[in-house]
Chains A and B, each alone.
Chain A
Amino acid sequence: MEIFNYSFIILLLPMLMFVTLGLCGHKMSHRTAGMLGTSGLFIITVLAYIVAAQYFTMPRIDGVFATVTPYNFTWLQFTESLIIKLGILLDPISVMMLVVITTVSLMVHIYSLGYMHGETGFQRYYAFLSLFTFSMLGLVVATNIFQMYIFWELVGASSYLLIGFYYTKQSAVAASKKAFIVTRFADLGFLIGILLLSFFTKTFDFETLTNGSVSLIDTAAGKSFLGISAASWAMALIFMGGAGKSAMFPLHIWLPDAMEGPTPVSALIHAATMVVAGVYLVARLFPVYVIQTPDVLMFITVIGAITALYAAIVACVQTDIKRVLAFSTISQIAFMIVALGVCTSMELDHEGHGGLGYMASMFHLFTHAMFKALLFLGAGAIIHAVHSNEMSAMGGLRKYMPITHITFLIACLAIAGIPPFSGFFSKDEILAAAFDKSAFWGIWMSLVAGLTAFYMFRLYFNIFWGKEAHHEHTPHEAPKTMTIPLLFLAVVTCFAGFIPFGNFVTPTGLSYDIHLNWTVAGTSIAIAIIGIALATWLYMKPNDKPTRMADSMRSLHTWAYHRFYFDEIYLFVTHKIIFRYICAPIAWFDRHIIDGTMNLMATATQWASYHIRGLQSGRLQSYAVVFLFGALLVAFIVLCCM
């Protein structure tokens, strides 16, 4: 549609920023580079808001916001049917994601002006931020699954670059490699899934896949592998890619380590935007999942529920504040995944609530992006003030950092699910969707919600209350460039819950009025308050209750503190089993058979040339002799033949 013709600028501008800052950044001053990146992003944000305003004010067709494709051009054409296109697709969820990404990214850009002040590689940092924004925006507006895969890898690469931003630090380098390898491993599954899916349906296009014109079940009928149908394999493998990016169990191990990157990066990439790519992917292909492979959706629910509980337990005992937030992110994303998983149909109206989870998931994605970015940026301000990530170095900071304190508290209340903050509304919808599916999932997720409230307030009290740590110099409030994004996000967190989200994003596109189910809401509020109360009792005043409690549950505490030894299991599997019994023989084969063949050829050639090099003596006379005898021989042969 013509009115969205300007939407390509949203993609083009961050790309241009990346090229400009990447190539000429080192010639600019820090200030110029930072302002250039931030103002570029400001323009994109404004454009994204205009797109959203125009899109959601368009007249509905049959009560549904039409899917708009302003651009879709052929990029690669291999055969008649194998065509890869690039384009821009606007529908309610992609427009919502545009708003989320640009808002959080702009906040992080502004915040970084203060946080990264004076760092070496400041211009490089902004170049990478632009690259990331470009790839993430390209991912959400992808018109086909292959374009999504391309940008999927690009966000992976920019995440790698930003985690390893302090590339002289050994742990940062290791963390960036870990993140890249784990997500890359998951992307292998994603790629196989894409190939399976498009092999059967003969299309990459999201619209064709989701509007019901091709049926994966029909085209892949009768084919199965290991007792599971090919259709389920395809969708499960695609989810594997999403699970890798979204840090779902058991591919979650990279996200806590990714906190080695600068804190604003954690806020942008590892809390608000990139890690929800997996949720977005499932939401994008939601009609395929819910109609054609409900068994995979069940599998997704189980994975999500395990992840949510696991991450919440681990978050309760971590002492590094960024680690707590990382596990909290994993847990909250698992909430979104579960919400998608518990859907039973596309319906969402008076008769059926089967698609409530979809709406809830997208709503939670939206609110979570805001308050989790706020939490991370607040944590950044705290780390900036006390120069440590450890809780033991904090305590009693509320006197020194009032703005950070208030905004952090708002975010904690939101994530704990206390009304009227945004997290309450979205989490309540998720719990309602889970109870709709079955009481088991509802109770499970309510329990996790209670744990969420507990660990967030444990974090809050340990930072701002409790025993005051000895400070080298008095902590001070962060500069304006850092507090303004905090305040902005806090305001959004306060009011985002009142957005009539159901009017914009529903599985069928029909408008739906969110109404609170007070049984569910009441229970979740009660559980949240219990969690908060417990945390208050344990952590508000300095006392020895937490230690005694940890002692009484020694083994559980140790296991949770070491994240249930998952990293050790991975290390054992990779080092002891894969490296020793698979890689070592392969390496031997490579070194001795493949290299050996090549070496043999080289040695033989060398030996032969050593022995015949005497022929090229440079003596003209000996050449003449050879020539003479050659000529005589030829003459002799010619004569014989005649």
Chain B
Amino acid sequence: MEIPMIYYVVVSTIMFFAGVYGFVTRKNLLAILISLELMLNAVDINFVVFNRYLFPGQLEGFFFTLFAVAIAAAETAIAIAIIINIYRNIKNIKVDNLDKMKY
């Protein structure tokens, strides 16, 4: 029995809003990064699902997802590098403390 499309969409919506919630509430930079990844992956799921169900036999959605995953990996590497540098400078990664450049 095939799983209906709506199930996937529900999962991805929950993932996306969990990511949004985490992005706006967390103070830890790593947690924010993880939330960001959740949102990104929710979108990826949507790509794959819509390709699979709405345009069977075509591959754009899949390939787009592959690109997005690759870029997300690179982006994560950079983000973590930045976070490590922040940690070296201010000895924590609380987003509230990142106000040196503001004043």
* A621: chain B residues within 8 A (beta carbon): 23-25, 32, 95
Interface residues, chain B, with chain A CB atoms under 8 Å away:
20, 23-25, 32, 95, 99, 102
| Contact digits for A472-502, partner B, Cβ 8 Å, 1 yes 0 no | 0000000000000000000000000000000
A303 CA to B4 CA in the complex, in Å? 110
Taking chain A's interface residues, is the majority helix, strand, or loop, or is none over half, making it mixed?
helix
CB-based contact B99/A618 at 8 Å: yes
Q: Which of B20, B95, B102 contacts A628 (CB 8 A)?
A: B20
A441 CA to B102 CA in the complex, in Å? 87
Q: Does A625 contact B (CB under 8 A)?
A: yes
A76 CA to B30 CA in the complex, in Å? 73
CB-based contact A624/B102 at 8 Å: no
**Closest 6 A/B residue pairs (Cβ):** A625-B24, A621-B24, A618-B102, A624-B24, A624-B23, A628-B20
Q: How many residues of A contact B (CB 8 A)?
A: 8
A620 CA to B102 CA in the complex, in Å? 12
A619 CA to B95 CA in the complex, in Å? 9
A36 CA to B24 CA in the complex, in Å? 80
Query: Nearest CB to that of A620 among chain B residues?
Result: B95
Tell me which residues from 608 to 639 in chain A have a Cβ below 8 Å from any Cβ of chain B.
618-622, 624-625, 628
A496 CA to B74 CA in the complex, in Å? 103
* B95: chain A residues within 8 A (beta carbon): 619-621
A233 CA to B59 CA in the complex, in Å? 94
A628 CA to B95 CA in the complex, in Å? 19
* A622: chain B residues within 8 A (beta carbon): 24
> How many Å from the CB of A635 to the closest CB on chain B?
13
Instruction: Count chain A CB atoms within 10 A of each CB in B20, B23, B24, B25 and give the residue with the most.
Output: B24
* B24: chain A residues within 8 A (beta carbon): 621-622, 624-625, 628
A620 CA to B101 CA in the complex, in Å? 14
A622 CA to B26 CA in the complex, in Å? 11
A618 CA to B95 CA in the complex, in Å? 11
* B25: chain A residues within 8 A (beta carbon): 621
* B32: chain A residues within 8 A (beta carbon): 621
Query: Nearest CB to that of A621 among chain B residues?
Result: B24
> How many Å from the CB of A168 to the closest CB on chain B?
49
* B23: chain A residues within 8 A (beta carbon): 621, 624
| Contact digits for A35-58, partner B, Cβ 8 Å, 1 yes 0 no | 000000000000000000000000
> How many Å from the CB of A172 to the closest CB on chain B?
54
A622 CA to B23 CA in the complex, in Å? 10
Query: Nearest CB to that of B23 among chain A residues?
Result: A624
Instruction: Offer 7 A-B interface pairs, CB within 8 angstroms, sorted by A.
Output: A620-B95, A621-B23, A621-B24, A621-B32, A624-B20, A624-B24, A628-B20
> How many Å from the CB of A337 to the closest CB on chain B?
74
* A624: chain B residues within 8 A (beta carbon): 20, 23-24
> How many Å from the CB of A627 to the closest CB on chain B?
10
Query: Nearest CB to that of A622 among chain B residues?
Result: B24
Tell me which residues from 569 to 628 in chain A have a Cβ below 8 Å from any Cβ of chain B.
618-622, 624-625, 628
> How many Å from the CB of B9 to the closest CB on chain A?
16
Query: Nearest CB to that of B96 among chain A residues?
Result: A619
A405 CA to B99 CA in the complex, in Å? 88
